[in-house]
Structures are given as structure tokens and as C-alpha cells.
Structure 1
């Protein structure tokens, strides 16, 4: 099926405008509601327990959530029957007798260790995470500028920022907890989106080199169409895996799966639209990839 070039250009531009609107909306909600930082960032109580190997995280949450009047984060330990759960103390009342409560509801339970997670550690992680992300973006920009030319690099970098901002926007809108697991998902989204952007940018560069007198809009569309099937297959199979993880991975991986789902979904269209439209607006032309003549003058 032949795709009309004018229609392809219109679709890229409309999708780019839609992306800008979503980014603005995300900034609004992040500013108004903020991110619901989890215990990994705000601090709280961390409890390690040992219980029957047949106990599941859902059973633990069914017992702990009503008692603590909050959604408790439960993670499996290093071996069968070992669990760690974290919660945010809401008052100065005495800590519940978890050993007795859990023993009465799920079977014999032993408290291995109880720790207080300080908020200063979380503040330090936020600061270092921001600095690391900024340095990462600068290095990515430098690498892409060296390999593809700064206009194409700008498009890829904006596509990366777009994906991360939308993930944070979803967490701000839904007020889901954002912990280290979700941060790992954001970093994975960065890698996935960058790979997709590089594939399209590489094809566009080769198309520009092969057509020194061609129109950038048309060449952009040709590059997108040439890589479209690969992008859809890659994104589709990745999304299927993420959905399976979302459904089968349990509540402890819901946040990770949602962050990955949003990031891969937005990364697919941002690589196609944002990553190619911005270089076009910055007047990218085939001449920028033509070999430069060496002067014969001494």
C-alpha cells in the first residue's frame, strides 16, 4: 500500500502537536499535585520477616494494609519464606506486634529485623538521580551530535525528554507511588527510546546522503516509512511482554509495568514524530551530510 507523502507529513506534525500538549499537561499536574514519592525516597519503616514458604505477597498485603491503613510495599527476600515490607508510620503510636498479627493470620512468623529508613537518604538519591540524568542527557547529545549532526541529535534528545516527562506525568495524575523500581523503569525507557530514535535517525541520514537534491519533508517520510514495520514489530512484542508482566507479576511490579508501558508507547510515536519533525523545523537539509570539498589553496 502506497502512503501519500502529504498525509504522512500531516500525521507527523499532528502527532508532534499532540505530544507537546501532553508534555504541557504533564508539567501542569507535576506542578499542581507533585510526585507521590515512595518510602525509598521519603523514608519509613522497613521490616524483614520469615514465614511459611507457601505465603504470597497478596496474603501479606491483605493482612498488613488494613492494620496500617495504607498500601504496604511487600517484596520477596533472598530465599523462600523471607519477605520485606515497608510502610510509612502515620502516628506516634506503638509499632504493631507484627509477629503476633502475622502468626495469627498466615502462620508462624518471625521478625528478623526492623529498620528506620531516613528521609535524608531519599533526598540525596533525588539530587544524585537528577544530576546523573542531566549528565546522561549531555553525553547522549554529544554522541548523537558527533554521529548524526546536531539537528538530528536535538530531535532524538527531545524525544527522550518527552518520554520521561510523560511517565512522570502519569504518576503525578494517578498519584501512584514512585519508588526505586519505577526509577529503574524510567532508565529502561530511556534506553529503549534512544535505540528506536537512532534506528530512524540512521535511516534518515542515509536517505539524505542518497538524495542530495531531495526535499527534507519527503525524505523524512521515506525514512519513517522504511523503518515503520520494524518499529511496530519491536514495540508490539515489547508491549505484549510488559502487559504479561503487568497481569502476572503481582502488585509489587505494577508500578514498574505501568511506567514501562507508558514509556514504550510514547517512545514509539515520539521517535517517529518528534524525533523527525524537530530536525525538519531546524532546517535540516541533505547538504549537511555532503562531503566537504578540500581546498587546494596552500
Structure 2
């Protein structure tokens, strides 16, 4: 089988675990501090606002539409195609003491004046802040429930020390990703929640592959310390990890560089999550299980005594 990384020597990953823990701790502390001080820049899905659907006679130039809205003072407007190149959706944050119909007329006027096209308002809706609060609560609960379910699944499949390492690694990935979004004040909407859940699933898949090999080697390798067995297991799965992460990152980077501005946040969340998740599968999940005292005895299958075994030793 083709391997991206061929090595006859076992790489001593666990030797650097202390430095990895220090680095991860600094990143977590910085992320939590940033979230506490700056918070997240919630998008319209969570804050509420006005949604306006506009129809064009010719395919719309989104950059031109954005420039026209910024010129008229709508700096917070989110502009994206909806259905076709002639349909554009404009989303705005809530504006106090301004009726939705007035905002709609202002948007239509700004687009007509800035693009020189005749446009038609197809639909206008207002999303209240209470709905946004419900969506924010539902998004947070989705991530928390997924982590709890993962903890239960990995506990049943492996051992609680490994499951604790896996869940803490996933929480590590999500926290650092949100910390970067908070620091850069990138808008967080429902697509970012979807990206975070995707990161959780992706990182868990990588961690499960490593854990499977760790369990197999703990049962097969009779010599060597737990750290040496983990080093061997991670080295054996390293080629698969690099190929999987590399090919996924190619697609995500393409989305980030060439994709529309409306999906930049989604692509950035995946880019950060996959990168941090690949690192955490080695230096957080596995290393934490080792720090919690995982041994060969914890992963050995239980011995099942066959019926009548007590008579086998009789002459």
C-alpha cells in the first residue's frame, strides 16, 4: 500500500507531549480570554434583522451591489445570490425606530442608483431578536449534546480514559476555533455552527482510527511501555492521517480562496478545525489518555471462562 510517509523508525510523539500541553493550554486560555472580553460577532441568524430579496433584470454583480450599499451607509449588509444570478438576498442587522418597509425602499434605491439596473423587491422579512436567541441556544445545545453522545459512544467502544481524551480534544478544537473567530470578529451564523459540528465529526473520526490502532497494539505488543506503544501506533497511522487531512484541506482552501464571501466563514472554520483537530488527535487525545494512566490491562479483552473449566486440571 502506498504511504505518504515511509519510516522504519518509530517517531517519539509522546516525548513532546509536555510542550504540546503547554502550547494547547496557552491557546485555550487565550481563546477563553478573547471570548470573555470580545465575545462572538453573531450574525443575523442569532441577532435578528431584516431580510430583503431583490430581483434583477440582468445577472447581478455582487461586488457592485455591496459597494452601492456601503456608499449609502449600509456597511453591515450581507449580500449573496439566492436561487439564481438574478436573485440577490440582502440581510441587515436590526435598526431601532426604522420600519422594515422604509429600510426596504432605501435598499432598493441604493441598488438602483449604484448599479444602474432596474430592480424589484420580491420579499422582505423581519427576524426578531427572540428568534435569534432561540437559534443561538439551539446551536450551542447541538454542540454540547454531540460531545456528550461522543463521550458515551467512545466509553462503550474503548475505555473511559480514551473517551475522556477524545472528548477533551474535541472541546479543545471547538474552543480554539471559536477563539480565533472572536479575536478576528468574524461573523458567526448557522453555517459556522454547521462547520463546527463537521469539525467535531471529522476530528473524532481521526481520533477513532488512532485509538483503534492503540488498542490493537496494546494487545499485540507484549514489550514496551504505554508511551512507546502509543508512539508506534501514531506512527503507523500517520500516513493515513496526513493523506486524509491534506486532501480535505485542498478542498477547504479552494473554498476559502475562490468561494463567495458568504462562505468564507464556513471555510475558515473548517480550515482551522481540521488543522487543530489533526494536531489534537495526537497531542491531546492520545497524550491525555496516557496522562490518565492508560495501561495494557485496561485494553485487554475480558477473560471468559468456559463451562467446566474447573475440571480441566483434574487428573
TM-score (norm 1): 0.93
The answer on 1:277 being equivalent to 2:287 is: yes
The structure whose Rg is larger is: 2
Match of residue 103 from structure 1? 112
Match of residue 160 from structure 1? 170
Q: CA deviation at 1:166?
A: 0.8
The answer on 1:220 being equivalent to 2:220 is: no
CA distance in 1, matches of 2:96, 2:301: 70
The answer on 1:92 being equivalent to 2:97 is: yes
The answer on 1:59 being equivalent to 2:64 is: yes
Q: Are the equivalent residues in 2 in contact too, given 1:9–1:221 (CA < 8 A)?
A: yes
Task: Count how many residue pairs are aligned between Structure 1 and Structure 2.
Answer: 297
Q: Are the equivalent residues in 2 in contact too, given 1:214–1:286 (CA < 8 A)?
A: no
Q: Are the equivalent residues in 1 in contact too, given 2:60–2:86 (CA < 8 A)?
A: yes
- Give the 3-state SS of the residue equivalent to 1:219 in structure 2: helix
The answer on 1:24 being equivalent to 2:29 is: yes
Q: CA deviation at 1:90?
A: 4.3
Q: CA deviation at 1:269?
A: 0.2
Match of 1:260 among 245, 264, 270: 270
CA distance in 2, matches of 1:118, 1:244: 35
Q: CA deviation at 1:294?
A: 4.1
Superposed, 1:143-292 pairs within 5 Å as 143-292=153-302
CA distance in 2, matches of 1:108, 1:125: 35
Give a deviation string over 1:111-137, Cα, whole Å, max 9, x none.
011111111011111222222222221
Q: CA deviation at 1:2?
A: 4.7
Change in CA separation of 1:157 and 1:111 when aligned onto 2, cut-off 3 Å: same
CA distance in 1, matches of 2:174, 2:113: 44
CA distance in 2, matches of 1:177, 1:48: 21
Q: CA deviation at 1:181?
A: 1.5
CA distance in 2, matches of 1:70, 1:101: 12
Q: 77-86 or 118-127, which moves further after superposition?
A: 77-86
Match of residue 3 from structure 2? none
Match of residue 75 from structure 2? 70
CA distance in 1, matches of 2:301, 2:43: 53
Structure 2 unaligned spans of 5+: 1-6, 311-315
Q: Are the equivalent residues in 2 in contact too, given 1:98–1:111 (CA < 8 A)?
A: no
Change in CA separation of 1:227 and 1:13 when aligned onto 2, cut-off 3 Å: farther
Q: CA deviation at 1:53?
A: 4.1
Q: 96-105 or 268-277, which moves further after superposition?
A: 96-105
- Give the 3-state SS of the residue equivalent to 2:84 in structure 1: coil
Match of residue 313 from structure 2? none
Change in CA separation of 1:56 and 1:12 when aligned onto 2, cut-off 3 Å: farther
- Give the 3-state SS of the residue equivalent to 2:89 in structure 1: strand
Give a deviation string over 1:145-193, Cα, whole Å, max 9, x none.
1111111111111111111101110011011111112111111111111
Match of 2:141 among 109, 131, 154: 131
Give a deviation string over 1:37-65, Cα, whole Å, max 9, x none.
11110011110110134213222211112
Q: Are the equivalent residues in 1 in contact too, given 2:51–2:89 (CA < 8 A)?
A: yes
